[in-house]
Amino acid sequence: MDSHHHTAVRLSSWRRRWRSGRVAGVPTNPGLEQWIACAPADPAVRAGSGQPIIVIAMRPKLAAVVTTYFKYSHAQHIVDRFLDGYGWNGAHHYPPMDLVSLYVDQVGPNDLSRERAARHPGMKIFPSIADALTLGTGRLAVDGVVLVGEHGNYPRNEKGQTQYPRFQFFEQIVKVYRDSGRAVPLFSDKHLSWNWEWARRMYDTAREMKFPFLAGSSLPVTWRTPSVEMPPDARVSEALCVGYGGVDSYDFHGLETIQCMVERRRGGETGCSWLQAYRGEKFWDALREGVWPRPLMDAALTRSHTLTPARPGFTHIFPSTEDLRRLVRDPVAYRYEHTGGLKCTMLLMNGLVRDFNFAAYVNGSREPWSTQMYLPMPDGRTTLADFFSPLVNHMETMFLTGRAPYPVERTLLTTGLTAAGVESLYRGQARVETPHLAIAYRAPRESTFWRT
């Protein structure tokens, strides 16, 4: 798509949603304070004549639909940033939009949503998702929806998956869309659903109803140390992530870490054909047999800022294989292949690291190419989980422009890989064929990780 066409599409979508016009100087509309000028900062929004178009848009209204809202829950991190702003580009940034309604599925003793609503009277709490989206009017009354189905007490199934009701929330949201004959952009936090069929239905529904849909982890969009990007159209022969956390939770973050890098490879993303999980003794056997390249794992570990010292009396020492066995009690690996032949490995090494580190063989080099997706994690290291800031900023972009800044297909694929990993573990670490994950898409050329 050439840039002219791109601009035209973008402008028309803006015009559809909000009023726009060619305005010189200060617009003359009355009640100006509730309008904002969004376009001048965005060089993409320019007319063919080269004249900047000043787009005067009403501040979008947003609804948030969340499972629960307590300190350091995902909903708190995300919704708070819309309410109280966040540090961005060297200033405290207040999103140019209003989060006007909130639905909270579980309100426990540690709930913060009531405090937030009291302090931000512009945000009303509604007893149902439909009410939150319609503001009680019976018709869709918001311009965007933020769905955060992470944290809260939900049952686990026999495979160990927490049955967060993302799909159910999504279904209620799109019911309002359908009933109102209008659909607005939607962000869905983390994987689309624990259940692949449901995730696929969410994706298909968004496509069918043609609403912008963004999802996923903050790992692809956070800081990197070093601040590097996979070159576009790179040849990638192997990729690996060493991370931490649990199955059906942080494995997803590790998969998103890998995917946001390898999707930039030559030919673009084509999907994955199989996955095999390794856990416990089988993990150590696989490590010994070289199922994944040890140099990539070692390179990833050199990027960690949280390597558990392998010996008492030392603060930073590279672990031997024996050290790994002693430090990591329940290691997990997902080894999987993309349809073009690229093989990737996601490692969860609890007890060894508390960060996510990526390494790959790129463009034929025998030296691993590596970085860390840096999370300023409030587990004693920081007080703010500021990796949510770029995630919220990308949501803002979508709510303002009507375009998702990166493809939801990435998260459709990582959702499927997460479910396949769980399935492989459940089936005794058997190899799982994944013909349903033949998901092809093109990554944006422009980087979307935090660099400014």
For another protein, the closer CB: 153 or 227: 227
When asked if residue 316 is in the footprint of another protein (CB under 8 A), the reply is: yes
For another protein, the closer CB: 232 or 378: 378
Backbone angles phi, psi at 126, to 5 degrees: -115, 150
When asked if residue 108 is in the footprint of another protein (CB under 8 A), the reply is: no
For another protein, the closer CB: 139 or 318: 318
When asked if residue 329 is in the footprint of another protein (CB under 8 A), the reply is: no
Q: Are 375 and 244 in contact (CB under 8 A)?
A: no
Helix 388-401 to helix 3-17 angle, to the nearest 10 degrees? 80
Run of H or E including 432: strand 431-433
When asked if residue 223 is in the footprint of another protein (CB under 8 A), the reply is: yes
186-189 sheet: strands from edge to edge: 124-125, 98-106, 61-68, 144-148, 186-189, 213-216
For another protein, the closer CB: 134 or 304: 304
Residue ranges in 388-427 that form contacts with another protein under rule CB under 8 A? none
| Window of 91-99, 125-133, 187-195, 393-401 that interacts with another protein by CB under 8 A | 91-99
Rg of the chain on CA atoms, in Å: 22
DSSP 116: H
Amino acid at 254: G
When asked if residue 236 is in the footprint of another protein (CB under 8 A), the reply is: no
Least distance in angstroms from the C-beta of 352 to another protein: 12
How big is the site for another protein, counted in residues (CB under 8 A)?
A: 55
When asked if residue 305 is in the footprint of another protein (CB under 8 A), the reply is: yes
204-209-210-215 Cα dihedral, nearest 10 degrees: -50
When asked if residue 91 is in the footprint of another protein (CB under 8 A), the reply is: yes
> Could you tell me which residues come within 8 angstroms of residue 337 by beta carbon, excluding any fewer than 6 positions away?
272, 273, 274, 275, 343, 344
Q: Are 211 and 187 in contact (CB under 8 A)?
A: no
> Could you tell me which residues come within 8 angstroms of residue 224 by beta carbon, excluding any fewer than 6 positions away?
371, 372, 373, 374, 449, 450
- Alpha-carbon torsion (70, 211, 122, 15), positive or negative: positive
For another protein, the closer CB: 317 or 430: 317
For another protein, the closer CB: 313 or 341: 313
When asked if residue 368 is in the footprint of another protein (CB under 8 A), the reply is: yes
| Window of 162-170, 264-272, 380-388, 412-420 that interacts with another protein by CB under 8 A | 380-388
Nearest to 69 by CA among 77, 57, 61: 77
Binding flags for another protein, 153-172, as an x/- string (CB under 8 A): --------------------
DSSP 408: T
When asked if residue 122 is in the footprint of another protein (CB under 8 A), the reply is: no
What is the Cβ-side half-sphere exposure of residue 101, based on CA atoms within 13 angstroms? 24
Residue ranges in 15-34 that form contacts with another protein under rule CB under 8 A? none
Retrieve residue 316's tokens. Answer: 């930073």
When asked if residue 80 is in the footprint of another protein (CB under 8 A), the reply is: yes
| Window of 101-109, 213-221, 222-230, 322-330 that interacts with another protein by CB under 8 A | 222-230
Among 25, 50, 109, 313, binds another protein (CB under 8 A): 313
Helix 409-426 to helix 250-262 angle, to the nearest 10 degrees? 130
Least distance in angstroms from the C-beta of 27 to another protein: 25
> CA-to-CA distance for 66 and 84, rounded, in angstroms?
17
When asked if residue 356 is in the footprint of another protein (CB under 8 A), the reply is: no
Among 14, 38, 68, 88, binds another protein (CB under 8 A): 88
User: Which residues of this protein are in contact with another protein, per CB under 8 A?
Assistant: 71-72, 76-77, 80-81, 84-88, 90-93, 112, 115, 223, 225-227, 298-299, 301-307, 309, 313-318, 359, 367-371, 374, 376, 378, 380-384, 386, 450-452
